[in-house]
Structure 1
Amino acid sequence: MTGFAPSEEPHGVFLQGTINLDNSVPSPEVPGNSLVGPTPVSALTPSSDGLNTCGANATLGTLEYWSQRYISASCRQLIISLTRTFPRMMVKPESLPPFVHRIGCGLKYNDHEPWQLVGGTAPSRFAPLRPLAACVNIAHTFVSRMPNSEDFLWQSIEAEQRRIRNADLSYRFAQVHPGPFNPPHIRATRPTWEEWIFDETRRRLAIVCFLMALVVGCEACDVIMNPYAIHLPGSKALWEARTADEWERVYDGWWAELKSGKPRLSTLGDLVMAKHSSDSSQAWMHGTFGSGIDDVLDDWHANLDGLGMMLVAVLAGL
């Protein structure tokens, strides 16, 4: 194997290539910096063409700017149908969207104990931090909305978007200041449960943004033109572990497989190239899975949750 994925630790295999979303076989291409992570969420925000304007008409169901360059109409409708359930999932702590972790909602990275229930045996309380609590309240309003509450709903959403943009701008100014750069999500050692939750949430958000970019048609986004670096979601068992002890047991098995050198899929590029390799003997690959490519895919499919299934469905329609 010739490279490592930029996550908390090296994975078993890392295939690099430019993904052409047109059913053609991807051609190998080594990126200039393999430690560059997925495009930030802000980079996927549509430009000033009316798509980023809050209002009852700015919905995916009525979007008029989408083109079929990347995905078919049926595939787009599938993504929309699944993402439209997220607000309803937000109002049910027992079934949160696949990028919101019930424990991670209450984590604070300020050298204090993140949450008393993290190390307990039955962390059943849902205690989101203030930004997510605002999202939950808005989700309640969205689910139970009435015709005369539309203005209030969209004003609330716009206020939260404005707050997020202001915070993002402040951090971008901080990034301009010269100094050492040590991304916390690039780890060479085994993470704690809290660290893994934080890292996995970032990876899952990048996947959701990629799917939404496909739907909206953000053709200038690097995340569409070169999506090979986007990390695949972790396994269902790891993501849904309810205690630190349960997570440790599952992660022990994952870590043992990692150290054994067993091939595994780490990025969207790995998945697409493995799929092409399984479907065609003419696929070009940087690195090789040997003759067990179907076994590698089967292992990954066996550990999928809802977000992973969305990726599989989308890639099947490309």
Structure 2
Amino acid sequence: MMLRHTTLPPFIHPRLLFSPIADNDDDLEPLHNCISLMHMLNSRVAGSRKLFWRNVRMECERFCAENSTWNRWKWLAALQALCVYLILRLDEGQTEHNNFDYLMVAAVAAISSHLNTPEMTPSSNGRELTWKDWIFEESRRRLCVIYQILNLLVFFEPANMCSLHESQLLLAPLPAKRPLWEAADEASWRAESEKDAEAQVDFGLATSGELVKLQNGLLVDCHAPMEVARPGDAGGSSAWSAARWDEWSAGMDGFGGLVMLAASMLG
């Protein structure tokens, strides 16, 4: 995972690593460091695993100490790196080297507090959404999905910062489909986003495990409590309606199976 362009996890957009997108290269330092650490771990040199977790601990301490001065791209990169570390920690189980869960959780909570605001949503600021803005927002959305699914596996306190829990929705909106996520350039992305624009709808996953279709352009934002919709709001049950899984999963990337797995855990 993360050692080649073709093996990036589906919550990290290739453009973040292989094309200039952030304000400067230093903004993506947490993600670059994560990739370097993954290469070290993959080397299987004696002592590499111990050294890997020692460096992860140092990164988490740095995140907690320095995050208040960062911008949105560095917050995003740090949360993506932390997501990788947490997945590895769950897969590996507790050892003498990785036993600092509290520090990883504290780092996620501290950084999430910066991204968990309406100001971080470009489309809510009254300006046209650019490809760069869309990559940021879609990356943030996909991270939210991962962290909420982690919370289904183990108690993960930062996941409860999401105000969707008050709305009977667990994940909303669900990630965009593969053609948008894998668009090679802005022209391809814009062409894909404008294709059958009127037919495009947003989907969500209810806390019951049901796939739902968000109605009439309903704005559901787990980063903005005042915009969370509930079944009884403005039209009652028409706020969303049941949907078929094939309506959403067709054309999805690796996230499709992940969301369906989450649904099976709820149902």
Aligned counterparts, 1:152-231, within 5 A:
152-170=51-69, 182-187=119-124, 190-218=128-156, 221-222=159-160, 223=162, 226=166, 228=170, 230-231=172-173
| AA partner of residue 63 (structure 2) | I
TM-score relative to the length of structure 2: 0.60
Q: Cα deviation per residue 1:114-170 (whole Å; 9 max; x = unaligned)?
A: 9xxxxxxxxxxxxx9322211110011122233422321111111111222223355
- What SS does structure 1 have at the residue aligned with 2:44? coil
1:236 matched to 2:236? The reply is no
**Corresponding residue to 1:287 among 238, 252, 260:** 238
Distance 1:254 1:205, change over 3 A: farther
Tell me how far apart the structure 2 counterparts of residues 229 and 96 of structure 1 sit (CA, whole Å): 22
1:90 matched to 2:32? The reply is no
Question: What is the CA RMSD across the aligned residues, in angstroms?
Answer: 3.8
Tell me how far apart the structure 1 counterparts of residues 64 and 158 of structure 2 sit (CA, whole Å): 20
- What SS does structure 2 have at the residue aligned with 1:267? strand
Instruction: Report what 1:129 is aligned to.
Output: 28
Distance 1:257 1:270, change over 3 A: farther
Identity %: 23
Contact 1:104 1:194 in 2 (8 A): no
Structure 1 residue runs of 5 or longer lacking an equivalent are 1-88, 115-127, 259-263, 277-282
**Corresponding residue to 1:140 among 22, 25, 39:** 39
Aligned counterparts, 1:247-266, within 5 A:
247-253=189-195, 255-258=197-200, 264-266=201-203
- What SS does structure 1 have at the residue aligned with 2:50? helix
Instruction: Report what 2:82 is aligned to.
Output: none
Distance 1:229 1:159, change over 3 A: same
Compare the two structures and name the one with the higher strand fraction.
2
- What SS does structure 2 have at the residue aligned with 1:268? strand
Compare the two structures and name the one with the higher helix fraction.
2
Contact 1:107 1:194 in 2 (8 A): no
| AA partner of residue 168 (structure 1) | N
Tell me how far apart the structure 1 counterparts of residues 59 and 158 of structure 2 sit (CA, whole Å): 25
Distance 1:216 1:293, change over 3 A: closer
Distance 1:143 1:100, change over 3 A: same
Tell me how far apart the structure 1 counterparts of residues 138 and 132 of structure 2 sit (CA, whole Å): 10
Q: Report how far residue 191 of structure 1 moved.
A: 1.4
Q: Report how far residue 207 of structure 1 moved.
A: 0.8
| AA partner of residue 94 (structure 1) | T
| AA partner of residue 244 (structure 1) | E
How many residues end up aligned between the 2 structures?
A: 197
Q: Report how far residue 95 of structure 1 moved.
A: 2.4
- Structure with the larger RCO, 1 or 2 (CA within 8 Å, 6+ apart): 1
Contact 2:177 2:252 in 1 (8 A): yes
| AA partner of residue 95 (structure 1) | T
**Corresponding residue to 2:256 among 308, 313, 318:** 308
Q: Report how far residue 221 of structure 1 moved.
A: 4.7
Contact 2:172 2:204 in 1 (8 A): yes
Distance 1:92 1:195, change over 3 A: same
Contact 2:209 2:265 in 1 (8 A): no
List, as ranges, runs of 4+ consecutive aligned residues in structure 1 with deviation greater than 6 Å. none
Tell me how far apart the structure 2 counterparts of residues 257 and 302 of structure 1 sit (CA, whole Å): 14
Contact 2:131 2:190 in 1 (8 A): yes
Instruction: Report what 2:246 is aligned to.
Output: 298
Contact 1:104 1:198 in 2 (8 A): no
Tell me how far apart the structure 1 counterparts of residues 239 and 136 of structure 2 sit (CA, whole Å): 31
**Corresponding residue to 1:268 among 176, 183, 205:** 205
- What SS does structure 2 have at the residue aligned with 1:205? helix
